[in-house]
């Protein structure tokens, strides 16, 4: 794969979590979260992006979100459970992306706010259609995702280099 071909990044916030008496890392999905995760998976499948790699936080709610969403995809990408995605800042998430091998074209990151929303905001130097306006209006609720595109190596990913192609949130 050439670094001149556009790459896709899907930034996917975990679905609605429950609040039982467990540590934050161990919080499971709520019933609504389980439903929204599957719907988000169907929306991802409709996007026709063939995902090569999934980078998923090790938190229970992100793992459950991805398990339900990936079930809806025609192609199951390689999944890496990455501890650094949990509670990561946008800069820390960019560092994780910068380590991605250049033979990987399209990546989904399943993570948490405020890092996921912050990353979408700072990567998107431009946007197509009304995607930025919808994302700004809605924020990044549970189970939302943004699709971005950029050209270059993963090591070249930095603020402002991507185009926000699409944004989806439950009840969108």
DSSP class of residue 54 equals E
The whole-chain average pLDDT of the chain stands at 96
Rounded distance between C-alpha atoms, residue 68 and residue 105, angstroms = 23
pLDDT for 3 = 65
Nearest alpha-carbon partner for 30 in 3, 4, 68, 57:
68
pLDDT for 171 = 82
CA angle 139, 145, 150 (to 5 degrees): 105
pLDDT for 4 = 77
Buried b / exposed e across 89-125, counting CB within 10 Å, b at 16+? ebeebbebbeebeeebbbbbbbbbeebbbbbbbbbbe
pLDDT of 1 higher than 60:
no
Contact yes or no for 105/8 (Cβ under 8 A): yes
pLDDT for 14 = 98
Mean pLDDT throughout 152-168? Answer: 97
pLDDT for 172 = 60
Rounded distance between C-alpha atoms, residue 147 and residue 118, angstroms = 14
- Peptide bond between residue 114 and the one before it cis (omega within 30 degrees of 0): yes
Contact yes or no for 78/103 (Cβ under 8 A): no
Rounded distance between C-alpha atoms, residue 143 and residue 141, angstroms = 6
Give me the percent of the chain exceeding a pLDDT of 70. Answer: 98
pLDDT of 58 higher than 70:
yes
pLDDT of 55 higher than 90:
yes
Output the CA torsion sign for 101, 102, 107, 110: positive
Rounded distance between C-alpha atoms, residue 13 and residue 120, angstroms = 11
98-128, pLDDT tens digit by residue? 999 999 999 999 999 999 999 999 999 999 9
36-51, pLDDT tens digit by residue? 999 999 999 999 899 9
10-41, pLDDT tens digit by residue? 999 999 999 999 999 999 999 999 999 999 99
């Amino acid at each position: 794969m050439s670094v001149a071909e556009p790459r896709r990044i899907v930034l996917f916030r975990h679905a609605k979590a429950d609040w039982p008496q467990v540590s934050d890392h161990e919080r499971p999905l709520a019933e609504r979260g389980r439903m929204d995760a599957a719907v988000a998976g169907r929306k991802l499948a409709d996007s026709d992006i063939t995902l090569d790699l999934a980078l998923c936080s090790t938190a229970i709610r992100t793992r459950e979100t991805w398990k339900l969403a990936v079930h809806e995809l025609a192609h199951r990408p390689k999944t890496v459970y990455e501890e650094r995605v949990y509670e990561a800042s946008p800069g820390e998430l960019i560092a994780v992306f910068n380590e991605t091998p250049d033979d990987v074209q399209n990546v989904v990151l399943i993570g948490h706010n405020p890092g996921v929303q912050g990353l979408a905001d700072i990567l998107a130097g431009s946007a197509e259609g009304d995607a930025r306006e919808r994302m700004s209006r809605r924020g990044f609720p549970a189970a939302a995702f943004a699709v971005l595109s950029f050209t270059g190596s993963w090591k070249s990913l930095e603020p402002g280099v991507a185009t926000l192609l699409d944004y989806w949130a439950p009840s969108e």
